A and B are shown apart, each in its own frame.
Chain A
Amino acid sequence: MNLRGKTLVEWLAKRPARMFPGRGTVSYYRRFQQIEEYLNNNVHPHVTAGANAIDGGTLTDHGPEHIRTVIIRASELLAAGGDLTPYEAYLLLVAIHLHDVGNLFGRDTHEINSEEVEKHLASAALMGEDQVERKTIRQIAQAHGGSIAGDKDKISHLPRNEAVLGHPVREQVLAAILRFADELADERSRAAGFLLQLSKIHPSSEIYHKYAHSLQSVMVDAQGGAVDLHFDMPLDDACRTFGKGDQRVYLLDEIYERTMKAHRERTYCMRFLRPQISIERIDVEIRVYGDDYNKELAKIPYRLQESGYPEALPGGVLNACPSLGALAYGNPLTGKALHEYFTKDQANDEHD
């Protein structure tokens, strides 16, 4: 998708109205601007505070800046591939704006709690009144996390292709872009830097802010099929632990855990984005500095990618496919078990 170095919002602004539903009678860009303005002024600035009030702790930034970052990451992903229609771009951008507003009502199941905000947008006549369009936006937004009917694989439950108001929409692709862009939207600006300095972060949330603060840069090299994550860690931070819930953890271990999650998210989302968008690896570099960032003490680079020949899963098929257990009344259905089953069966037949 040729964005010419611009963001998806800027690209959307230049699309003629006739390329959207309504045959030129509706300006979808203006509609997006109105939604953005309303949410930036009335909702996004209060999301973090709302979640903190309900859950306790100190949530990392979920305000307008975070939304802007998600849009930039989505634009970077799309710059290398994918070819959204103008209407798909509109749906994606509105979904990005709505994906985290449910945090207003607490972190738990926040991905599905956006209906109150939507209701306000609708009553202010900012969103279109078509429920199909709204549901599509909602579904794309909701697939960024959580689970549905106990299944974390939410994107697979979306229709692959659906015509909305006469325009084809690839919901799985849009949801995967949002989800991966959101995963890559952590960065230093999300940390409450001032509160960190004053040590006023809630102890249970310390590590999340430290993690975001240490994330120096996120570079999406979609052409090269890579994401580069650079972390800077002062020596002091490397040598102490931080609060995470009711535990204390090292920052390096948190980086390992979070980058591993990013790797899983990449693997998952690429399932829906290939071949248009293909990110094959995440390159991580962690630098430990001393002396007020003047001296590099250590460099820890690693690459997360699917490479080489796949390792066999421990326990083989029997572990990978628990349904096999049911066939043998909970016992492993091995070759020997099968042999014994038939031998016993034959013996019974003869006995009968």
Chain B
Amino acid sequence: MNTTDMRNPFAVQTPEDISADDIRSLFVDVFNDFHNINKPGHTFLHGPRGSGKSMMFRYLEPDCQKLVQGVGLNALQFFAVYVPIKNTELKLTELQRLENQNANIVLNEHFLLTYVAVRLCASLLKAQVTDANGEHAASFKSYYDTDLRRAFLRCGWTDPLPELPPSATINNSFKLLQDIFTDQYATLLTYVRRLAFTSGPVTYTGPLCGYLDFLLPLMKKLKEFAFMPSGPIFLLMDDADNLSRVQASILNSWVSCRTSADVSIKISTQLNYKTYLTVHGRTIDTPHDFSQIDISSVYTSRKRGYHDRVSQIVHKRLTMYGINRTPEEFFPPAQEQEDKIKAIAQELKARWDTEGRGFRASDDMVRYARPTYITSLLGTSKSGSTYKYAGFDQLVHISSGIIRYFLEPASLMYGEMRSRHAEATEISPEIQDQIVRSQADQFLFSEFDRWSTDEADKEEGASAKVLDKTRRLRNLIQSLGGTFHQILRSDGSERRVFSVALTDEPTQDVLEVFDLGVQYGYFHQSAIGNKEGTGRTRLYVLTRRLAPFFTLDPTSFAGYKFVTNDALREAMLRPKTFLGKVRRSGVDSVLETGQLALFEED
């Protein structure tokens, strides 16, 4: 057994920690789906946690791009600087003390800017610029001693700038510049921490750099050096939800400057970006100021795109670990179950001439065979839980367009398989089913509890309101999941329903609950034509990760039901009553009226 066997092919690593070589081997090019990401222009990339945003950003970094394209740095089309927001100290609680005190905007901009500048220098160092005859070092020194020194002075720099010795290599120069910004970052941190011990404003005596008067000219100048690509510098701001409101508005102000030919800002969010206002009091809008990509929308509107991507990722990972199996072979379905479903499908085909409901026999086979099988288990032996959520296709469907929701369970499955067997050349359907079910439970219970507590902690003073919202969200999930299960067991023409579309304008409280659900990946938001055919309306799709929890068929999410705002409110406030009504009166009568009772359910 070699050392690779000890590891797990599906282990989810932080992309930052993955080497350029491994990235080249593991990354599946998705830029056909997300064509704005690697093109000049400011872009927002929205997607839940684990949807592959950071991996995309890592892939764009110069060390990876050089390997992938097999060219030198200056032949690349852009120079990408990875700026993770998650791991920074940009959200220091002390920074909140600046609000309505001293220069909330100016100090936060300097803070954000020095952090970006540190990362820019880190990227330059990581790019390993070669400079055999010292030409680059000499031209950088000339810039450092004149324009850059002046720019620092203009920002209020009072201490003498460190000298750049003539013998310094180009990488020494980048390191020196990085040290200057790191010192500044530390100085500002110290200042901000001092605020904790005083009641009024504290004098700030350090320099203050702005984007337009400092960072942008610096980046433009860097771009002119012969070792740099001629295309723009990309600032890859990863997980920008972690920025405070004022920091987000500062970043928006950077976006509002149409500088994308020189600097393009790529911003990833987990659907909770705090504001689109700039510090100048205007908003930034798509498509005028930036393009926007919602990963979930891309992968829920294209039928095979996501499936193919997962298949390629799994194939690459298996190959890297010397496992020569196709994804379908490695994650086999429960064969006996599939045979029975096939038999039901054949039966439906045979009856289609006389009892068929779809346009073609194959429509009925696809739509009804699996739901009929699941229902048959429930109806006869009361053992619905014996339905096996197994097989590559079914696992892809369950992961709901989020690659991590495939890889994490797959990693657990592999670990479980290895704990039972010396070799894992495939994952048994039993283990697949067991892990997928336990993941669904966790998603609705322990994971839900964890983030809802975090959310409440974040909103000091409003934690009761937050907890009320999370309770409503859990109620809503229970109500809709239970309803969709009822639909699966019904005689309806479409039994694989995961979505609701609103027939009227949702109230603020309902919207807030859905927004929270979208943010944490319990729902995906989309839009469809309204019932009257006069426009479009909101559509919320329940994640298929919860299919095992509610015993649903995950293989399609095309079916949806119209629902009123009142019905949704009832579902959020009184799930038991709601589901009772669904069972007694039928799904449609409850979803499309929604009568509120006088008292809330406990």
Contacts and interface: CB of A to CB of B under 8 A. Distances in A.
A309 to B, nearest CB: 26
Contact of B102 (A159, A161, A165): A165
Contacts of B155: 135
Interface stretch (A61-69, A148-156, A186-194, A273-281): A148-156
B281 interface: yes
B494 to A, nearest CB: 29
A165 B201 contact: yes
B206 A166 contact: no
A112 B154 contact: yes
Given A159-B280, A163-B103, A166-B102, A131 B154 contact: no
A132 B212 contact: no
A172 interface: yes
Interface in B79-122: 98-107
Contact of A149 (B99, B104, B207, B259): B259
Contacts of A129: 203, 205
A166 B204 contact: no
A163 B280 CA distance: 14
A149 B102 contact: no
Given A132-B107, A165-B201, A156 B101 contact: no
A136 interface: yes
Contacts of B213: 112, 148
Contacts of B102: 130, 132, 163-166
Nearest to B200: A166
Interface string B232-263: 00000000000000000000010001010000
A235 to B, nearest CB: 49
Contact of B154 (A23, A115, A159): A115
A134 interface: yes
B106 A172 contact: no
A23 B216 CA distance: 38
B213 to A, nearest CB: 7
Interface string B525-556: 00000000000000000000000000000000
A98 to B, nearest CB: 13
Interface string B122-159: 00000000000000000000000000000001111010
Given A148-B212, A157-B212, A165-B201, A172 B100 contact: no
Contact of A23 (B200, B217, B281, B288): B200
A21 interface: yes
B280 A135 contact: no
A157 B288 CA distance: 18
B106 A132 contact: yes
B206 A157 contact: no
B447 to A, nearest CB: 39
A149 B280 contact: no
A134 B203 CA distance: 11
A83 interface: no
Contact of A21 (B158, B201, B281, B288): B201
B352 to A, nearest CB: 31
Residue among B99, B106, B279 facing the most chain A CB atoms (10 A cut-off) = B106
Contacts of A333: none
A151 B473 CA distance: 47
A158 B279 CA distance: 8
A136 B210 CA distance: 12
Nearest to B107: A132
A162 B106 contact: yes
A136 B156 CA distance: 11
A264 interface: no
A145 to B, nearest CB: 15
Given A129-B203, A132-B204, A172-B280, A163 B101 contact: yes
Nearest to B249: A159
A71 B494 CA distance: 76
Residue among B100, B201, B288 facing the most chain A CB atoms (10 A cut-off) = B201
A159 B201 contact: no
B39 to A, nearest CB: 12
Interface residues of B, number: 36
A159 B105 contact: yes
A18 interface: no
Contacts of A21: 201
Interface string B279-298: 11110000010000000000
Nearest to B103: A132
A259 B268 CA distance: 48
Interface in B264-280: 279-280
A156 B279 CA distance: 10
A136 B158 CA distance: 17
A339 interface: no
B20 interface: no
Contacts of B282: 156
B579 interface: no
B200 A131 contact: no
B204 A131 contact: yes
Nearest to A166: B201
Contacts of A112: 154, 213
B148 to A, nearest CB: 14
B103 A162 contact: yes
A30 interface: no
B208 interface: yes
Nearest to A155: B280
A6 interface: no
Contacts of B217: 149
Interface string B196-239: 00001101111110101100110000000000000000000000
A242 B259 CA distance: 41
Given A23-B200, A148-B212, A166-B200, A131 B156 contact: yes
A160 interface: yes
Contact of A160 (B98, B106, B281): B281
A157 B253 contact: yes
Nearest to B220: A149
Contacts of B205: 129-131
A160 B280 contact: yes
A188 B154 CA distance: 34
Nearest to B156: A131
Residue among A21, A129, A132, A168 facing the most chain B CB atoms (10 A cut-off) = A132
B200 A136 contact: no
B197 to A, nearest CB: 16
A115 B149 CA distance: 12
A121 B491 CA distance: 85
Nearest to B208: A135
Residue among A130, A135, A162 facing the most chain B CB atoms (10 A cut-off) = A135
A162 B200 contact: no
Contacts of A151: 257
Contacts of B280: 156-160, 172
A172 B208 CA distance: 19
B569 to A, nearest CB: 38
A159 B106 contact: yes
A82 B282 CA distance: 22
Contact of A131 (B99, B104, B208, B279): B208
9 contacts: A131-B204, A131-B205, A132-B204, A149-B212, A149-B216, A157-B253, A163-B99, A166-B102, A166-B201
Task: Name the 8 nearest CB pairs between A and B, nearest first.
Answer: A132-B103, A160-B281, A166-B201, A130-B203, A165-B201, A159-B279, A131-B156, A159-B105
Given A151-B257, A166-B101, 15 more contacts: A122-B158, A129-B205, A131-B208, A132-B102, A132-B208, A149-B259, A157-B212, A159-B106, A159-B280, A160-B280, A163-B101, A164-B102, A166-B200, A166-B201, A168-B100
Interface of B: 98-107, 153-156, 158, 200-201, 203-208, 210, 212-213, 216-217, 253, 257, 259, 279-282, 288
